[in-house]
Amino acid sequence: MPAAAAPCPDAGAGARMTVGAGVEDLLRELAPRVIGALVRRYGHFDECEDAVQEALLEAAVQWPAQGVPGSPRGWLITVASRRLTDQWRSDAARRRREETVAARTPQEEFFAPGPEGERPPDQDDTLTLLFLCCHPELSPASQVALTLRAVGGLTTAQIARAFMVPEATMAQRISRAKQRIKASGVGFALPPEPERAGRLRVVLHVLYLIFNEGYTTTSGPDLHRAELTGEAIRLARALRRLLPDDGEVAGLLALMLLTDARRDARTGPDGSLIPLAEQDRGRWDRKAIAEGVALITETLARAPLGPYQVQAAIAAVHDEAARAEDTDWPQILALFELLERISDNPMVTLNRAVALAMVRGPRAGLDLLAALDADDRVASHHRLAAVRGHLLEMAGDADAARDCYTLAARRTTSLPEQRYLMGRAARLAR
Amino acid sequence: MKYMLMIYSNPETVQALGEDLDAVMAEVDGLMAELTESGEWLGGEALADPVNAKTVRIRDGVPVVTDGPFVEAKEHLAGYCLLECDSLERALEIAARWPDARFMGVELRPLMNGSADEV
């Protein structure tokens, strides 16, 4: 039977956590570009990525004490290159000791390095690296982990803490993801033009998953997870700098800003959930809202429409209402109708039912929910029961509402939601 | 999604295994190694036999300790695994491969988490 997974201490993680925010930010900013430079020079994404992690740890120890070098990027490339060649030398020595045939890695296993001179030497490879980490061969969980490490510059220990898994498990996931990429033989280059749009959708989804993982965390021991929200916004900003014309990249960034703006108002001092209608809007982040609204307004005016833009527009309508009762529900309803047409997702219908209830009354919303009972994707989901409870409560049917809230509370796997739903049910007690 | 796979047993099934026990343990070791390699294994332990169990109840403010498990049943919880899987289907696939599913039964339950979508 099982023995507990052995802890795998990451000596450098402590150093990374305590260095000044300035150095930490600089290292995270440089990480993907240093990996890019190394992979272009040597191939072998997997080994380069490990070497860069070591160089980042070394920098985190040295720089705060000795000062940031004149060319931080050059310093990291030099140190990582040294780690890489040391590693290869010791591998070669071991191979000789073992008297194996000293066949070097076959050429096919190298990433085809880009032609020298064709690109400027300071090429920003962040986008190429993002596409690689979000390769469709990988599971979403692996895409997220690899993106946070290689593009985000986080340590395995930090990622493991954020996802609440043992560090050994996360290390294994990352190493497996890298092996998969190596086995797939994909080169270190942007995907070919015809695949670009589809691959970008995967990248956006990964950033959205990272954001959501942090945003949906409410309090307490999970605080590390909340930092994922900031990380997702940082990566989305970087992506927008690289692809300024893409409407969905801008839409996703706007959605993140407009959603994250409500974070502080979303939970009470005791960690309990506060629904949108009851939040103290004075605690919303006005600066983030202004930036998000400007971004989505400008984007909707010029780019082809996509689901992230519509979701950002919905968030903007909520954020622009000074009081809950000022919310422009007809506009939100119209936006959900639009979203439903461009994405096949019963959760959108669920949200449209709420908007419909606000515009035309709870019975109209409940009629729409009835159709979802036949949809296997959502029929036994706690959200369907929770929304039905909410609309029944609006309709004045307290008994039925209470039963729905109770059912939803039993179905959910989220502790804060369970607490909220049990509270709603208790308020309607006979 | 994170899951707990609960492994149920009873003294008769273990006795009935006899010498096959080694083969079953090897099967479990192989499965654990595979799940560790795939990054799905979060942890797990085997529990000592319920003859070692103590049950604690506080009555009138006084803790009362009795010998034996809280739920008196022929079957008992023999161990657990914590897993993280991409889908329920994948978790069920692992559950079906745990040898105890053949002898008695294993139970799969999602863990509660601290996240909440907008309500």
pLDDT in tens, A177-231: 999 999 988 888 899 999 999 999 999 999 999 999 888 876 555 556 778 899 9
State which residue of chain A sits closest to B100, comparing Cα positions: A1
Q: Is A213 on the interface with B (CB under 8 A)?
A: yes
pLDDT at residue A15 in the model: 46
Name the token pair of A388. Answer: 């039905």
Q: Is A178 on the interface with B (CB under 8 A)?
A: no
pLDDT at residue A19 in the model: 56
DSSP single-letter state for residue A138: S
Quick: pLDDT tens for A333-358.
999 999 999 988 999 999 999 999 99
pLDDT at residue A297 in the model: 97
Distance, CA of A268 to CA of A256 (rounded, Å): 21
Q: Helix A329-342 to helix A307-320 angle, to the nearest 10 degrees?
A: 170
Total CB pairs under 8 A between chain A and B: 94
What is the band of A124 on the pLDDT scale with cuts at 50, 70, 90?
A: confident
Quick: pLDDT tens for A37-68.
999 999 899 999 999 999 999 999 999 999 99
Distance, CA of A53 to CA of A58 (rounded, Å): 9
Give the best-scoring range by mean pLDDT among A5-19, A151-165, A182-196, A287-301. Answer: A287-301
Contacts of A141 in chain B (CB under 8 A): 39, 84, 86
- pLDDT above 90 covers a percentage of chain B that reads 73
What are the b/e assignments for B19-44, b being 16+ CB within 10 Å? eeeeeeeeebeebbeebbebbbbbbb
Q: Is A6 on the interface with B (CB under 8 A)?
A: no
CB pair distance less than 8 Å for A221 and B45: no
Mean pLDDT across the stretch B86-94? 96
pLDDT at residue B42 in the model: 97
pLDDT at residue B34 in the model: 96
At residue A221, what is the residue type? P
Instruction: Give the three-class secondary structure for B107.
Output: strand
**Does residue A7 have a pLDDT over 90?**
no
Q: B9 forms bridges with which residues in the sheet? A: B76
Distance, CA of A319 to CA of B18 (rounded, Å): 67
**Does residue A114 have a pLDDT over 80?**
no
> Out of A158-167, B27-36, B77-86, which region has the weakest mean confidence (pLDDT)?
A158-167
pLDDT at residue A98 in the model: 62
- Which DSSP string do the residues of A281-320 spell out, in sequence order? GGGS-HHHHHHHHHHHHHHHHHSPP-HHHHHHHHHHHHHH
Residues 6+ apart with CB under 8 A from A94: none
What is the band of A2 on the pLDDT scale with cuts at 50, 70, 90?
A: very low
Angstroms from A97 CA to nearest CA on chain B:
28
Quick: pLDDT tens for A19-33.
567 888 899 999 999
**Does residue A134 have a pLDDT over 60?**
yes
Sign of CA dihedral A113, A118, A124, A129: negative
Instruction: Tell which of B17, B84, B86, B119 to mutate to test the A interface (max A CBs under 10 Å).
Output: B119
Angstroms from A61 CA to nearest CA on chain B:
30
Inter-residue contact A149 to A159 (CB < 8 Å):
yes
Question: What distance lies between CA A218 and its chain's CA centroid?
Answer: 16
Contacts of B43 in chain A (CB under 8 A): 2, 4-5, 166
CB pair distance less than 8 Å for A418 and B114: no
Partner residue facing B79 (CB), from A2, A165, A170: A2
**How would you class A15 by CB atoms within 10 Å of its CB: exposed for 0-12, middle for 13-18, buried for 19 or more?**
middle
pLDDT at residue A123 in the model: 61
Mean pLDDT across the stretch A123-144? 91
pLDDT at residue B103 in the model: 87
- pLDDT above 70 covers a percentage of chain A that reads 87
Residues 346 through 385 of chain A touching chain B, CB cutoff 8 Å? 383
Give the pTM. 0.86
Q: Is A218 on the interface with B (CB under 8 A)?
A: yes
Angle ∠(A79,A84,A86) on CA atoms, nearest 5: 95
**Does residue B101 have a pLDDT over 80?**
yes
At residue A368, what is the residue type? L
Name the token pair of A32. Answer: 């993907």
CB pair distance less than 8 Å for A4 and B44: yes
Give the CA diameter of chain B: 55
Q: Is A281 on the interface with B (CB under 8 A)?
A: no
Q: Which residue has the higher pLDDT, A66 or B82?
A: B82
Query: How many other β-carbons are positioned within 10 Å of the β-carbon of residue A385?
Result: 23
**Does residue A113 have a pLDDT over 50?**
no
Rounded to the nearest integer, the mean pLDDT of chain B is 91
What is the band of A118 on the pLDDT scale with cuts at 50, 70, 90?
A: very low
What is the band of B63 on the pLDDT scale with cuts at 50, 70, 90?
A: very high
Quick: pLDDT tens for A297-317.
999 999 999 999 999 999 999
pLDDT at residue A224 in the model: 61
Instruction: Give the three-class secondary structure for B12.
Output: helix
Angstroms from A4 CA to nearest CA on chain B:
5
pLDDT at residue A25 in the model: 87
Instruction: Tell which of A138, A146, A156, A165 to mutate to test the B interface (max B CBs under 10 Å).
Output: A165
**Does residue A14 have a pLDDT over 70?**
no
Partner residue facing B118 (CB), from A2, A169, A276: A276
Name the token pair of A412. Answer: 């959910």
Question: What distance lies between CA B52 and its chain's CA centroid?
Answer: 17
> Out of B12-26, B62-76, B86-100, which region has the weakest mean confidence (pLDDT)?
B12-26
pLDDT at residue B14 in the model: 75
Name the token pair of A194. Answer: 């015809």
Mean pLDDT across the stretch A376-393? 95
pLDDT at residue B78 in the model: 93
**Does residue A109 have a pLDDT over 90?**
no
Instruction: Name the interface residues of B facing A (CB cutoff 8 Å).
Output: 1, 25, 28, 32, 36-46, 79, 81, 84, 86, 110-119
Whether this model's ipTM surpasses 0.90 comes out as no
Partner residue facing A172 (CB), from B32, B37, B115: B37
Mean pLDDT across the stretch B30-37? 96
What are the b/e assignments for A351-361, b being 16+ CB within 10 Å? bbbbbbbbeee
Q: B6 forms bridges with which residues in the sheet? A: B80, B107
Contacts of A1 in chain B (CB under 8 A): 25, 28, 44-46, 79
